[in-house]
Amino acid sequence: MDGETHRLTVPDEGGGRIDRFVTEHLELSRTRVQKLLEAGLVAVNGHLAKKSDVVSTGDEVEVVVPPAAPVDILAQALPLDILYEDDALLVVNKAAGMVVHPAPGHRSGTMVNALLHHVRDLSGVGGRLRPGIVHRLDRDTSGLLVVAKTDAAHHALSDALRERKVKRLYRAVSWGHFEQSKFKIDAPIGRDSKDRKRMAVRDDGRPSITHIVVRERWERTDFLDVRLGTGRTHQIRVHLMHAGHPVVGDAVYGVGWERGMGGPQRLWAAELARRVSRHFLHAAELTFVHPSTQLEMTFEAPLPEDLAALALWARGDDD
């Protein structure tokens, strides 16, 4: 069958269930991996694999990913802040409020709809609803994304992301104050057993690492530099909540957090919560090696107007 063939060796720490192993190492959705298994496109040590199979250290896994079906998403002339573009890729500064790719309830108005109007032909590796998308940002998270225009670029960037060679730095504000100014959060993340729309720290989750540096200490919050060691869904938001300092304005993992604050600065915290219209999280820096030129590229995006205004107020500089 035509398509991309991937050959993976299970590392020393083992691999667990075959569908989970392939999902993590090829950055494909679990649903798509299960369909590949059902179609007989996944083999372990030369034998066709079943969804329930478990892989062990040293096993050789072969996965054939067929070409994506033609994309039938509406191209829309939507505002798009493109910082860089060449024949292989684009770097986009995504606005807060824009969903990255179509999904149930968001079939139009997404970044992919805008990209298809601008580019016309994106890499199909991400599937019918996610052409060109190498990594994602939550709807209310602003900042930098790299988008692949060719399948070769998509595979190279996805591999680099999986091997932790893509460097991503976020700016965030969290409630309260951390004792340390520089530290690491190492806690596995998986689906919340009580709410499938949320993520949570859980013993059987996927390994997740977040590096934190406190840039500034405000009245009742910390202004942070956050670097991803891994890229799990909602990782920064979940890790900061787990540490007891959720992201300011986070309607899922930190709602109402300021109400529990006492002391003379309680009113300051309440006013900040009143002023924030979305969670204070912004993808500020992105570094990767260009898949064609092999040159390292770094892009920066300053805080957007809404977050910059909040920062000025919090510092007392908004005269």
Q: Which two tokens stand for residue 253?
A: 């993992």
Walk across the sheet containing 4-9 and list its strands.
4-9, 60-65, 42-44, 47-48
| Known catalytic membership, residue 138 | yes
- One of 19, 53, 138, 250 is an active-site residue; which one? 138
Q: Which two tokens stand for residue 149?
A: 């225009």
How many angstroms separate the CA atoms of 61 and 66, rounded? Answer: 16
Rg (CA), the chain: 21
* Residues labelled as active-site residues: 138
